């Protein structure tokens, strides 16, 4: 099974800050990686697909990069509505796996 | 408009069974690969099962032999038959299309005596 190691597990930042989350795969997954945002009581929302492509309707302050085993998710200027938990997810394997999640809070 | 609506969750005793449904609209279930993902209370996301457009199915080790994913093309609906349920199966269960571009709202399954 492919393991996804996501860090940090929690993060506190100020409005306007640049926020970065990383995800490392246990083996090469090419660019088969998604990033999701999940707010309490809601289903996950796809933000980034294929490692770096912005889903339609998602603000441009969200971005993703990387390939192979190392991936990065960035919010260029944190907004209050970005408070949520973020997950990476690989789909290179037959059954996808998620990272452990990063809980983002406002400082 | 693409929509996924889950149903069938509830309270069940350990060892019991439930069947979850995911009614789809705005696209054809049989033309996509479809997934069930679950989230235990306060925990992260776990991919449970996948059914590909060709009919191949895959399961997480934690549910293999107990859960069965299927679909009814005439009803455009995805199912998850869950047998021999355990306390650790307690979670919100989501259906999702493909890699996860669309998700349902989730249905809560509680396994408890």
User: In this complex, is the C-beta atom of B105 within 8 Å of any C-beta atom belonging to chain A?
Assistant: yes
Segment B68-106, tens digit of pLDDT: 999 999 999 999 999 999 999 999 999 999 878 999 999
pLDDT in tens, A77-86: 999 999 999 9
Exposed/middle/buried for residue B95 (C-beta within 10 Å: 0-12, 13-18, 19+): buried
pLDDT reading at A96 higher than 90 = no
pLDDT tens string A40-91: 999 999 999 999 999 999 999 999 999 999 999 999 999 999 999 999 999 8
Residue B42: the pLDDT is: 95
* Residue A13 pLDDT greater than 80, yes or no: yes
Q: How far is B34 from chain A (nearest CA, A)?
A: 11
Residue whose entry in the numeric block shows the structure tokens 């009614």: B23
What local confidence, expressed as pLDDT, does residue B99 receive?
Answer: 79
Q: Residues B17-41, buried b or exposed e (16+ Cβ, 10 A)?
A: ebebbbbbeebebbebbbbbbbbee
Best residue in B44, B49, B106 for a mutation probing chain A (most A CBs within 10 Å): B44
């Amino acid at each position: 099974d492919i393991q996804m190691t996501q860090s940090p597990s929690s993060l506190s930042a100020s409005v306007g800050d640049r926020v970065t989350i990383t995800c490392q795969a246990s083996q090469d997954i090419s660019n088969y990686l998604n990033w999701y945002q999940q707010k309490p009581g809601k289903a996950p929302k796809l933000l980034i697909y294929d490692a770096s492509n912005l889903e339609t309707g998602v603000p441009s302050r969200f971005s993703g990069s990387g390939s192979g085993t190392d991936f990065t998710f960035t919010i260029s200027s944190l907004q209050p509505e970005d408070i949520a938990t973020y997950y990476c997810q690989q789909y290179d394997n037959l059954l996808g796996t998620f990272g452990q999640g990063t809980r983002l809070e406002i400082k | 408009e693409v929509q996924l609506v889950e149903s069938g969750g509830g309270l069940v005793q350990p060892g019991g069974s439930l069947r979850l449904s995911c009614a789809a609209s705005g696209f054809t279930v049989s033309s996509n690969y479809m997934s069930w993902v679950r989230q235990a209370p306060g925990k992260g996301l776990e991919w449970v099962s996948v059914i590909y457009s060709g009919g191949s199915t895959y399961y997480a080790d934690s549910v293999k032999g107990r859960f069965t994913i299927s679909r009814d093309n005439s009803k455009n609906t995805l199912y998850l038959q869950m047998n021999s349920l355990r306390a650790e199966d307690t979670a919100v269960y989501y259906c999702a299309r493909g890699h996860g571009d669309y998700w349902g709202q989730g249905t809560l399954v509680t396994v408890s005596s």
